[in-house]
C-alpha cells in the first residue's frame, strides 16, 4: 500500500518538478535570451553560459531580482489563451486536437491547421508578453498580471499604448508567428516520439534480460516521457533559434520598448529598428551582425536546459531513494 501511494505521489511530484523547471526556474534564462535577441546594438552576443551568468548577476545587482522574473505571469496567460483557443476551435470545427494511430495526410493537415489558427489567436497576447519580458525594470510601471490581456486586445483593435509608425501590422506578423509555432510543434513531436520509442525499446529489452526491481519499473513508468519532452523542446529551441530571433525583432519593432543594455549590465537602450518584414529582417541581421547575430543570447538556452537536466536527475535520485527505503 505504501509503495502504491508513493507511486501516485511520484507521478505527481515528478511532473510538478518538471513543470516548475520549465516555467519558473527557466524564466530568468528566457528573459535574458529575449533581451539579447532583440538587442541589435549589442557588441557582446552572449553565446556561452559564462557571459550570460555574468550579465544576470549585473542585472540582479543594479535592479534587484525582479529584473529577471518580469513578465512571468504573462507567459502563463499566453499558455492559457493558447490552450483555451485550441479547445474552443476544435469544439466548433471538425479539426482534430489529437492525431489517431491510423492517421492520414488529410488528418495531419487539419491538425496543423488547428495549431496555426491557435497561434494566430494567441499572437497579440504573445506580443504583449514578449514586451513585458524584455522591457527594462528601470522605466517600467508596476503592471498588473492582466496587463498582457489588455495590451493584446488593445493591439488587435488599435487602442492602448501609442506605438510608432514603424510598428508592423498584425497581419504581416501572422506568417512568421505561425511558421515558428508550427515548425516548433512538428520538430518537438517527431523528436519526442522518436526518443520515447528508443527508451521504451531499451526498457523492454532490459526487462526481458533480467527481472526488474519495483524501483526500476516505477522510474521506467515516468521518466522516459520526461526525457522525451526534454529532448524535444531542447532540439526544437536550438534548431529554431535563428527564426525566433527574427520573430521577436519583428514583434517588438515600433512598440516603443526600452530594454536593458546587455553589454554593460546597466543603462537602458531604445529599440529603433526599421525592418520592412521577415525577409528584410533576415538580410539586415546577416549584413550588420553576421550569422552569429541570429544566435545572440544562446548561452541562456544552454543554462536553461542544463538546469532542467539537473532537476530531472535530482528528482530521479530522490524517488529512487524513497522507493528503496519503502521497499
**What is the structure's pLDDT at 225?**
86
What is 174-219 written as a DSSP string? HHHHHHHHHHHHHHHHHHHHHHHHHHHHHHHHHHHHSPPPHHHHHH
**What is the structure's pLDDT at 248?**
97
pLDDT digits (tens, 9 = 90+) for 207-264: 666 655 666 666 777 788 889 999 999 999 999 999 999 999 999 999 889 999 999 8
Query: Predicted confidence band at 315 (pLDDT cuts at 50, 70, 90)?
Result: confident
pLDDT digits (tens, 9 = 90+) for 42-83: 999 999 999 999 999 999 898 888 888 998 989 999 999 999
Mean pLDDT value across the chain:
88
How would you class 91 by CB atoms within 10 Å of its CB: exposed for 0-12, middle for 13-18, buried for 19 or more? exposed
**What is the structure's pLDDT at 163?**
67
Q: Say what angle helices 147-157 and 105-134 make with each other, to 10 degrees.
A: 110
Beta-strand runs (E) in the chain:
258-260, 268-270
Query: Predicted confidence band at 203 (pLDDT cuts at 50, 70, 90)?
Result: confident
Separation between Cα atoms, residue 308 and residue 327, nearest integer Å: 28
Q: How many CB atoms lie within 10 A of CB 156?
A: 15
Whole-model pTM: value is 0.91
pLDDT at 182 over 90: yes
> Rounded mean pLDDT of 12-39?
87
Beta carbons of 178 and 291 less than 8 angstroms apart: no
Residues forming beta bridges with residue 135, ordered by sequence position: 259
Question: Residue 218 is placed in which grid cell?
Answer: 516505477
**What is the structure's pLDDT at 6?**
65
Q: How many CB atoms lie within 10 A of CB 259?
A: 22
Please state, for a pLDDT cut of 70, what percent of the chain lies above it: 89
pLDDT digits (tens, 9 = 90+) for 117-168: 999 999 999 999 999 999 998 877 666 778 888 888 888 887 666 667 888 9
pLDDT digits (tens, 9 = 90+) for 97-128: 888 777 788 999 999 999 999 999 999 999 99
Beta carbons of 131 and 151 less than 8 angstroms apart: yes
**Domains of the chain with bracketed CATH:** 1-325 (1.50.40)
**What is the structure's pLDDT at 111?**
94
pLDDT at 1 over 60: no
Separation between Cα atoms, residue 10 and residue 50, nearest integer Å: 34
**What is the structure's pLDDT at 161?**
61
How would you class 98 by CB atoms within 10 Å of its CB: exposed for 0-12, middle for 13-18, buried for 19 or more? exposed
H/E element, 220:
helix 214-239
**What is the structure's pLDDT at 156?**
86
Amino acid at each position: 500500500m505504501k509503495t502504491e501511494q508513493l507511486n501516485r505521489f511520484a507521478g505527481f511530484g515528478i511532473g510538478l518538478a518538471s513543470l516548475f523547471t520549465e516555467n519558473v526556474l527557466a524564466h530568468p534564462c528566457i528573459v535574458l535570451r529575449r533581451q539579447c535577441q532583440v538587442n541589435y546594438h549589442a557588441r557582446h552576443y552572449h553565446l556561452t553560459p559564462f557571459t550570460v551568468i555574468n550579465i544576470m548577476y549585473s542585472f540582479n545587482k543594479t535592479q534587484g531580482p525582479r529584473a529577471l522574473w518580469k513578465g512571468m505571469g504573462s507567459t502563463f496567460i499566453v499558455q492559457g489563451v493558447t490552450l483555451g483557443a485550441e479547445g474552443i476551435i476544435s469544439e466548433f470545427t471538425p479539426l482534430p486536437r489529437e492525431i489517431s494511430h491510423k492517421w492520414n495526410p488529410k488528418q495531419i493537415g487539419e491538425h496543423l491547421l488547428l495549431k496555426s489558427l491557435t497561434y494566430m489567436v494567441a499572437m497579440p497576447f504573445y506580443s504583449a508578453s514578449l514586451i513585458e519580458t524584455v522591457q527594462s525594470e528601470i522605466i517600467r510601471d508596476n503592471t498588473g498580471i492582466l496587463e498582457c490581456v489588455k495590451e493584446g486586445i488593445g493591439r488587435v483593435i488599435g487602442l492602448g499604448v501609442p506605438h510608432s509608425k514603424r510598428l508592423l501590422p498584425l497581419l504581416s506578423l501572422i506568417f512568421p508567428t505561425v511558421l515558428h509555432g508550427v515548425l516548433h510543434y512538428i520538430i518537438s513531436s517527431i523528436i519526442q516520439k522518436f526518443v520515447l520509442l528508443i527508451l521504451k525499446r531499451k526498457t523492454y529489452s532490459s526487462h526481458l534480460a533480467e527481472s526488474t526491481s519495483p524501483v526500476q519499473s516505477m522510474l521506467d513508468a515516468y521518466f522516459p516521457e520526461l526525457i522525451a519532452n526534454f529532448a524535444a523542446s531542447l532540439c526544437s529551441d536550438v534548431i529554431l533559434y535563428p527564426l525566433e530571433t527574427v520573430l521577436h525583432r519583428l514583434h517588438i519593432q515600433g512598440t516603443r520598448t526600452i530594454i536593458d543594455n546587455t553589454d554593460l549590465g546597466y543603462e537602458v537602450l531604445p529599440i529603433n529598428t526599421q525592418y520592412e518584414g521577415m525577409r528584410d529582417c533576415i538580410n539586415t541581421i546577416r549584413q550588420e551582425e553576421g550569422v552569429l547575430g541570429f544566435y545572440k543570447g544562446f548561452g541562456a538556452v544552454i543554462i536553461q536546459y542544463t538546469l532542467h537536466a539537473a532537476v530531472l536527475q535530482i528528482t530521479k535520485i530522490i524517488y529512487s531513494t524513497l522507493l528503496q527505503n519503502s521497499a
